[in-house]
Structures are given as C-alpha cells and as structure tokens.
Amino acid sequence: MASSEGFLTNEQRETLKIASQNVEVLSSSPKSPTSFLSEHHVKAPAGGKAPTAGIAVRHVRRSHSGKFVRVKKEGGGGKGTWGKLLDTDGVPTLDRNDPNYDSGEEPYRLVESTVTDPLDEYKKAVVSIIEEYFSTGDVAVAASDLKELGSSQYHSYFIKRLISIALDRHDKEKEMASVLLSSLYADVISPPQIKDGFFILLESADDLAVDILDAVDILALFLARAVVDDILPPAFCTRAKKALPESSKGVQVIQTAEKSYLSAPHHAELVERRWGGSTHITVEEVKKKIAGLLREYVESGDTSEACRCIRELGVPFFHHEVVKRALVLAMEIQTAEPLIIKLLKEAAEEGLISFSQMVKGFSRLVESLDDLALDIPSAVSLFQSLVLKATDEGWLDASFLKSLDEDGDAQVEDEKVRQYKKEIVAIIHEYFLSDDIPELIRSLEDLGVPQYNPLFLKKLITLAMDRKNHEKEMASVLLSALHIEIFSTDDIVNGFVLLLESAEDTELDILDASNELALFLARAVIDDVLAPLNLDEIGSKLPPNSSGSETVRSAQSLISARHAGERLLRCWGGGTGWAVEDAKDKIAKLLEEYESGGVVNEACQCIRDLGMPFFNHEVVKKALVMAMEKKNDRMLDLLQECFSEGLITINQMTKGFTRIKDGLDDLALDIPNAREKFSFYVEQAQEKGWLLPSFGSPAADGSQKPDPGSAAS
C-alpha cells in the first residue's frame, strides 16, 4: 500500500516492536509505557496529508474498517478500537494466600476512631475533685489530685469551674472555694493562670446570671476576695474592664467589687469574714466565744445577731460545738429552751449549720449524758424532748431518732416512748380486725404525740408484712387516710427512712421483705401519699449500697413500668385499690344528680354510703370544680350540710380546698375566672368555719378580693 494512505513506516514499526518487548520493564519504571511513546513524536510520512498529522501515535489507532480514529487519552476506549495495550479483564487484586504476598502492597485505608478533646476530659475530672473537696474540706488532697491530673495548661478552667459550682452552694462552700484558691496559688496554679481563670469567669457572667439571680454580687465578692488574698493584683480589675464589653455582666461584677467591697473602710476584714472565713484562733478560744455568744443570745433573744456571730467565728466544721453547748444551755435554763430551738432551727434552715454538724452535736451530747445527769437530774428526759421537737420540725435528721431507738438506749428512750409502742401495736391489731379507719385516727389523736408518727408508720408496715395480702392492702389504704387527716409528708418520708434503714434486719425474719417494701413505697406514690421526688429524698438519706437504697430503686422501677398505676392499685389483691377509682366515678355521678335538681339529704346519704370518709376531700374538690363550671353555687349548700352533720370533717374540707388551690393554674385554662371564684368560695368557707386556720387567706396567695356578685354570676 502507498504511504499516502497513512500506514506506519518500517522505522516506526521497529520502534513499536521494541516498546512491546520491554513492556514489563517499563511497567515497573517511573515512566509508564505511554509516556515512553509520547517522547517519540511519531508522525505520518510526508508523502501525503494524513488525517492525523501532528498528533502523537498514542492518540492514533486504526480501526477494523481501516479508518484512523482519535481515541481517548492513555489509549483506552473509543468506538471501534481494541482498548489499551495492557488492558485486562478485571481489576488486579492481592491474594493474601499467595506465597509472594507482601503486606506493603496493600492500599492505605482510613480507619474511623473517636477523637477526644483533652479539655473536655479535664473539665469532667475536675468536677469530681471539687465535689470531693466540698465534702471533705481537705485542701491537701484536692491539691494532690489536681497535680496528678496533669494538664496544667487547663488550670484556668479549674478556677472557673470551682467558682461556678460554689455560686449555687451555701456560704460554707464559697468560703472553701476561696481558701482552696489561696492554697493552690503559685504552688499548683500559676499567677497567669489565676488571671486567665478569673477573666474566663467574668466573660461567662452573663450566662451564670441567667441561672443564679445574685450571681453578679457573689462573683464580685469572689473577685474582691482574690484581691484581698493577694492572688490577683488590683490592676487586674482595670485591665479586665477594658477587655470586656461595656454592657456585659462581667463589667458589672468589676464595678460592684470596686465600689461595694474594695473601696469600703476595713474592706479586707469585711471581705475575709463575709462567708465566715477562718480567724485562725485556737479551739479553746472558739469554745469561749461560742459560750459567750449563746449567753448573750439568751439575754437578748436576737436570733439574727446570734447567727451573724456564729458565721463570723469562721469555723463551719466546728459548728457541732455550737449545737452541743446550745442544747446544754437549754437544759440548764429551761426557760431558754424555746429560744435555743428557734436559733438552731433558723441556723439549719439558712444552711449556717449543716445537717451533719447538727447530728454530730446531738451525738456528742448523748455520749456525755451520764456526766450531765449529775448536775441536771432530768437531763435524759429533757434531751429526749429536744430530740423529738427537732425531728418533728425537720431540722434534725429522723435517722438520729431511729439510731437511738434501735440501739435500745435507755438514757433517751424513756417510759413514754416504750408505752407509745405498746399502745400503737394494740391499735394496729384492732384496725386489722375492724377495718375502722376513723376509730384508729381518733385513737392516735388521743395519744397526743404526733412527733412519733414516723414510728407508727414503721410499725404498721412491719406488722402488715408478716400478715396476708388483705392486711397489706389495709395498711396501704390506712396510709392514704392518715396522710389526709393527721400525717404530714415529712412524717411519711421519715417513717419510710426508719423502715428502710432496718431493712436488712427485717429480711432475716421476712424472706421477701425487700420486694414487699418496694411495693409499699410504689403504692404510696400511686396513692398520692408520696411524690416521685420523695423517693429521691428517701434514697439520699440511706447508705448508697444498702438494702434500703436497692429497695428505693426497685420502687422507682415499678412506678416507671407500663400500666404501673393499675397494677400497683391491685398489688395486694386489688379490692380497695379499685374501690378508690370506683368511688371517684360515684362521687361525680351523685354530684351531677344533685346539681340537676336532687335533694340535699339524698346526696348526703350517698356520700355516707360510699363508706370512705378518708376520701371525702374528693367530694369537696369535685363539688367546687362543678360549681365553677356550672356557675351554680348550690354545691356550697351541699358542703354546708355535710359539714354541719359532721359527714365531712374540717381536715377533709381543708384538704379539698388545698387540692383546688394547687391545681388553679391548670383549672384556669378551662375556666378563665377560676381564681376569682375560688377566692369567693374561700371567703365563704372561712366565714362558716370550714377551713383550718393554717389554710391562709386568698390575699396571701396573691389573688384579688372578688366581688361576690361576679363570683356568683
């Protein structure tokens, strides 16, 4: 064929042949075969104009039809072509079973892994260090733990975290936080980190103020305390103020610190003692000061001044001495007992004296009662009276009374307590035989010792657990009635605490005691005797890994289960539990019938036929709601008749009104003028003597005095 047709010359064929023979060598060299060919810019002979003139050979291929076509880069594909020179049918893979297999030839693969932020890990770790320090007060351990944690570059965040946690605590923790910062300064945390930590804290002041109303003032005091303790230079305030936005809370903190604390006369002493800081005096000096301030308090009766003096002592971990000496003084001067009780109660409620310090003070006095009785013959009985009053008012943990009871301490558990236990056993046995709740309530009221109510609950359930399901059901129903009539929620909580603290001993006599106690707890929640949060409160008063704590967790699991209400109402065989639900329907029907024109006497008889006097507060509640909805005050006539006949007691009446008051927000969604109507009903009830004085007046709850005409409309 003529060369004008574009066929390769002999020289070109020879070049291509050499390339084909050396393909294996070329495949392993840095240059590919195609790049090798591209270095020889082969063109068609000049004898004729080839359609592919000036195009490299690697881009030209002859098809089966004899035509020249331009193919894809690297020589692969193209219509009517044979593909690349080294094309294979599949992608080459490595065979790990091949004797010549080399793991180095495997392609790289990305493996997903969790990336942890060291700062996040540090923040989590320091929280436990801070909480442990607040519990123990051991500065050395806190410093050691922080050193062992490492990550010293993040210590500025420790400062922010420490103060943020202390903000929402009592003065004791705030003082502890300031003391810890002073102790860590320079030794563990460098001065620049102290500055950075406080600046980060000031930057977050806006967020902290959202959750803590007085955050600005507390942060200002922390800042002033740091300046007074010489861990921050006074110039820090000026520099930080320039670096923060003028409208930020951080600037307000600095301004408050400068004006209210750092510029005040004797500001150093004022700031150091604001949270009861240590005065570095000896134990003997502290004891003398405590005795002096208590004597002065008994003479003046100024509780606020006495609390201030206790705080200024700056020894929060020695407050048990205040408790002990106050109790001794109450025994020596019996006319001072009301004042001493008032002081200790207020100090406990303010968080000035912690619960642990209060218990420790009482415990120390128990140990010295023998010696004290030589000077005060009636010391044992006087101390017993103080313990009962303290537990009844809630500023001494009920577990203290239980510990005395379980140990059989004859110094405290006098004849009155032992006699009470004998009498309540007889009352409970009689109730199990008669099922007469009103009679049992009258018997307890005749005893006249409401401070022992937790002991009654413990005895009731302990006796019921050793009986059949019928008695267990009766015990649960009785708890509902007692809670409505004479037992407070604290009585119920403290009673269950006493019961669960002795759970391990109970299990020795009753094999399934743990499960039954869990059912009693869960049933109490379903019956509205306890709120779910009360279970957390009970659990917090028990040792973490005790049988009692496990019982509380079991009760919480029972409550969270599906259809828990229906199941727990029938946990002891069901009868009375179902009767309560059935009673609600019957009450609604009898009130509807009365409202539509019924007779008062018939309605009263229907209420009496229900046979559930402990549940009459439901009658009061539904009657008031219906009066609001129907705009018909006939229901008040029915309540008046029931009260006059003694069918609904003043306790039941007060309970019904209280339930309405607690649910007014929800009720107002359906009845817009519910608050005005309720205020009118309360006034009517108080005039007629239906309510206990403790209920209070509508005005005290912030509701306006309504016009009787508008309420009746």
15/442: higher pLDDT: 442
Listed residue (515, 536, 514, 518) closest to 526, CA to CA: 518
Listed residue (233, 155, 161) closest to 187, CA to CA: 155
For the cut 70, the answer to whether the pLDDT of residue 461 exceeds it is: yes
CA distance 482 to 492: 9
Q: Tens digits of per-residue pLDDT, 622-673?
A: 899 988 887 777 888 888 888 888 888 887 788 888 888 888 888 888 888 8
Range name among 262-266, 401-405, 410-414 with the lowest pLDDT average: 410-414
Both tokens assigned to 88: 């294979």
Which one of 256-265, 507-516, 533-542 scores highest in mean pLDDT?
Answer: 533-542
Q: Tens digits of per-residue pLDDT, 479-492?
A: 988 887 889 888 99
Both tokens assigned to 294: 């208590």
Mean pLDDT of 444-471: 88
231/6: higher pLDDT: 231
CA distance 41 to 49: 17
CA distance 455 to 465: 16
Both tokens assigned to 87: 């094309």
**What pLDDT is stored for residue 254 in this prediction?**
93
For the cut 80, the answer to whether the pLDDT of residue 522 exceeds it is: yes
CA distance 182 to 198: 13
Assessment of whether the complete model's pTM goes beyond 0.85: no
Distances (CA, A) of 189 to 128, 143, 151, 231: 18, 10, 11, 10
For residue 221, the SS3 value is helix
What are the beta bridge partners of residue 101?
Answer: none
For the cut 60, the answer to whether the pLDDT of residue 520 exceeds it is: yes
**What pLDDT is stored for residue 601 in this prediction?**
86
Q: Which residue has the tokens 């609904």?
A: 648
Mean pLDDT of 429-447: 87
For the cut 50, the answer to whether the pLDDT of residue 43 exceeds it is: no
Both tokens assigned to 17: 């042949």
For the cut 50, the answer to whether the pLDDT of residue 600 exceeds it is: yes
**What pLDDT is stored for residue 313 in this prediction?**
80
Confidence of residue 198 (pLDDT cuts 50, 70, 90): very high
For the cut 70, the answer to whether the pLDDT of residue 497 exceeds it is: yes
What are the beta bridge partners of residue 544?
Answer: none
For residue 671, the SS3 value is coil
Which one of 67-81, 161-175, 624-638, 692-706 scores highest in mean pLDDT?
Answer: 161-175
Question: What single-letter DSSP state applies at residue 60?
Answer: E
Residue 559: CB atoms within 10 Å: 18
Strands (E) located in 537-663? none
Mean pLDDT of 324-347: 89
For the cut 80, the answer to whether the pLDDT of residue 67 exceeds it is: no
Confidence of residue 271 (pLDDT cuts 50, 70, 90): confident
Distances (CA, A) of 439 to 160, 478, 529: 61, 12, 20
**What pLDDT is stored for residue 112 in this prediction?**
58
For the cut 60, the answer to whether the pLDDT of residue 35 exceeds it is: no
Hey, what's the torsion of the CAs at 375, 377, 379, 381, to 10 degrees?
Answer: 180
- The dihedrals phi and psi of 691, each to the nearest 5 degrees, come to -110, 150
Q: Which residue has the tokens 């002859």?
A: 62
Considering the chain, what percentage of its residues have pLDDT values greater than 90? 12
CA distance 125 to 148: 11
What are the beta bridge partners of residue 61?
Answer: 69
Q: Which helix (H) or strand (E) holds 437?
A: helix 437-447
CA distance 577 to 650: 25
Distances (CA, A) of 440 to 417, 444, 485, 576, 611: 19, 6, 11, 18, 15
CA distance 321 to 407: 24
CA distance 217 to 206: 13
**What pLDDT is stored for residue 416 in this prediction?**
72
Considering the chain, what percentage of its residues have pLDDT values greater than 70? 77
- The dihedrals phi and psi of 68, each to the nearest 5 degrees, come to -90, 135
**What pLDDT is stored for residue 686 in this prediction?**
87
Both tokens assigned to 621: 């509640």
Average pLDDT along the chain = 78
Q: Tens digits of per-residue pLDDT, 357-375?
A: 788 788 878 867 777 877 7
Listed residue (429, 510, 122) closest to 519, CA to CA: 510
Distances (CA, A) of 713 to 127, 256, 387, 671, 708: 59, 54, 53, 13, 9
**What pLDDT is stored for residue 402 in this prediction?**
65
Confidence of residue 508 (pLDDT cuts 50, 70, 90): low
Residue type, 114: T
For the cut 80, the answer to whether the pLDDT of residue 470 exceeds it is: yes
Listed residue (438, 528, 450, 526) closest to 483, CA to CA: 528
Contacts of 387 (CB under 8 A, 6+ apart): 362, 396, 400, 401, 404, 412
Q: In the chain, what are the domains?
A: 118-273 (1.25.40.180), 283-396 (1.25.40.180), 414-569 (1.25.40.180), 580-688 (1.25.40.180)
Both tokens assigned to 541: 């008063």
Residue 427: CB atoms within 10 Å: 18
**What pLDDT is stored for residue 580 in this prediction?**
59
Range name among 9-18, 501-510, 575-584, 621-630 with the lowest pLDDT average: 575-584
For the cut 70, the answer to whether the pLDDT of residue 174 exceeds it is: yes
What are the beta bridge partners of residue 68?
Answer: 62
Start-to-end Cα distance in the chain: 120
**What pLDDT is stored for residue 109 in this prediction?**
62
- Is 42 within 8 Å of 15 (Cβ atoms)? yes
Q: Which helix (H) or strand (E) holds 68?
A: strand 68-70
Q: Tens digits of per-residue pLDDT, 78-130?
A: 555 555 554 445 556 667 777 777 766 666 665 555 556 777 888 888 999 99
